[in-house]
Amino acid sequence: MNAQSAIETDVDQAALLERLGQRSIVLVGLMGAGKTAIGRKVATTLGLAFVDSDQEIEDVSRMSIPELFDLYGEPEFRALEQRVIVRVLEGGPQILSTGGGAYMNAQTREAVRANGVSIWLKADLDLLMERVSKKQNRPLLKNDNPRAVLESLMNERYPVYATADLTVVTRDERKEVIAAEVIEALGRHLSNIREDKS
């Protein structure tokens, strides 16, 4: 498969959007998995709006995520995150990129299940470390051994992420390629749901 054909999908986008209806495509996964970059690409390809829940939270609170963590702690941040995601989901269809811990909240998962299709962008530890080490705005990684923290988060969160509707493995590949794989997986998933109902 050459690079050009890897980007083109044979998914009928009009049919995909019709089957999606008013639901949102919700990207879940750890920090560094590429939810924002791949989400933007999928949104552009499908002609949908892109929403980043972290950005929405910062807009609502007029504070950065690290500031919210410092001032209110993680439990209060998660409660705000849940309210924001539930509100955003009412505005579908769209691509929604969620923070790494959002899907760990049972009420958030239920809201996503009711109003969206969840896609886990699964990445290995080395790839995540390479990506997150480039940014200093990760509150959960502000300690002496970020790799151990990330590994611990993987052990805790991956079994929950695995309950998402779809899993797409992300790797050191161009975002266009991963986005095409997301769209293809989504197209298959929505076709299968339709066939199950008929």
Please give the domain boundaries of the chain with CATH numbers for all domains: 12-183 (3.40.50.300)
pLDDT at 63: 93
Taking alpha carbons only, the member of 145, 49, 163 closest to residue 105 is 163
- The answer to whether the CB of 96 falls within 8 A of the CB of 116 is yes
pLDDT at 198: 47
pLDDT at 194: 59
Distances in Å between the Cα of 197 and the Cα atoms of 93, 192, 194 are 21, 9, 5
pLDDT at 192: 83
Taking alpha carbons only, the member of 6, 12, 43, 45 closest to residue 173 is 6
- The answer to whether the CB of 99 falls within 8 A of the CB of 81 is yes
Burial of 170 from C-beta contacts in 10 A (0-12 / 13-18 / 19+): buried
pLDDT at 131: 84
Name the stretches of the chain with pLDDT < 50. Answer: 1-8, 198
CB atoms within 10 A of CB 4: 8
pLDDT at 56: 95
